[in-house]
């Protein structure tokens, strides 16, 4: 049965939450992120090839570990969104949302009547039809999250209409692709990119929609907190693991080098 969406509840209460992208296609990584006490995980199927069975097992791991799992889909096609939600995701992250119409289409594909036209199904999230299905539809509509990513100049220009769409639960930044859209690829700290992110955060929050930042250093977190932001994605587990592995090896190589010179 689809559990209560703890992330959505905490956002509504104005609490601070931390998440992590999961790009290694294995349930163990989801369990590790949960064990490390992150509040939510975003399983990435945009940049990573994950077969449907593995994705479902990763979502089962999230259920068992008590962490809210969203899935970043590769596109906003209704069937793409449908299968992810029917597998048990608590929501979808939609990349490259540029207009209010695109946001509306994502909401419509993610929710049942009267909020949308998601195809009816009595699978995993509905306990295989063990529960009362008409009641489940209302429950699912409340628990599912729709999270557009703003990764293009057009998305910044249209953020007022995107964040005004009923059923949008959070806006997530995408500074890397946004930098490319502005003609300064990977220069995520450039003024043009930072000003665009600040504009998106301000307008989004004025609409009453939580904004989720991706701080790339501790000082970024302080800046975003000063702007009232309470939701953060702290990168992805591959980068985190790589840095930890490199630092771990460096510690022992440094010790060996010191011993050899004494």
Question: Which residues pair with residue 173 across a beta bridge?
Answer: 150
Give the span between the Cα atoms of 95 and 110, in whole angstroms.
Answer: 15
Q: How far apart are CA 153 and CA 98, in angstroms?
A: 8
CA gap 123, 262 in Å, rounded: 66
Residues 26, 47, 96, 248: which is the catalytic one? 47
Question: Is 47 marked active-site?
Answer: yes
Q: Which residues are catalytic?
A: 47
């Amino acid at each position: 049965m689809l559990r209560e969406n703890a992330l959505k509840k905490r956002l509504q209460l104005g609490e601070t939450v931390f998440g992590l992208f999961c790009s290694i296609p294995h349930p163990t990584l989801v369990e590790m992120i949960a064990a490390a006490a992150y509040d939510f995980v975003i399983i990435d199927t945009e940049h990573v090839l994950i077969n449907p069975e593995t994705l479902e097992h990763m979502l089962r791991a999230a259920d068992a570990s008590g962490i809210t799992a969203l899935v970043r889909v590769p596109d906003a096609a209704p069937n793409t969104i449908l299968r992810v939600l029917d597998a048990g995701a608590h929501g979808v992250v939609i990349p490259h949302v540029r207009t209010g119409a695109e946001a509306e289409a994502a909401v419509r594909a993610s929710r049942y009547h009267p909020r949308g036209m998601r195809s009816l199904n009595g699978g995993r999230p509905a306990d295989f039809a063990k529960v009362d299905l008409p009641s489940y539809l209302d429950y699912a509509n409340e628990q599912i999250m729709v999270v557009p990513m703003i990764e293009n100049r057009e998305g910044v220009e249209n953020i007022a209409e995107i964040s005004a769409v009923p059923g949008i639960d959070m806006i997530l930044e995408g500074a890397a692709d946004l930098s490319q859209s502005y003609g300064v690829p990977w220069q995520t700290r450039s003024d043009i990119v930072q000003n665009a992110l600040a504009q998106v955060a301000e307008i989004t929050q004025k609409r009453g929609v939580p904004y989720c930042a991706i701080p790339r250093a501790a000082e970024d977190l302080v800046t975003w907190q000063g702007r009232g932001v309470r939701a953060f994605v702290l990168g992805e587990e591959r980068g985190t693991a790589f840095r930890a592995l490199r630092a771990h090896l460096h510690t022992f190589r440094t010790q060996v080098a010191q011993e050899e010179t004494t």
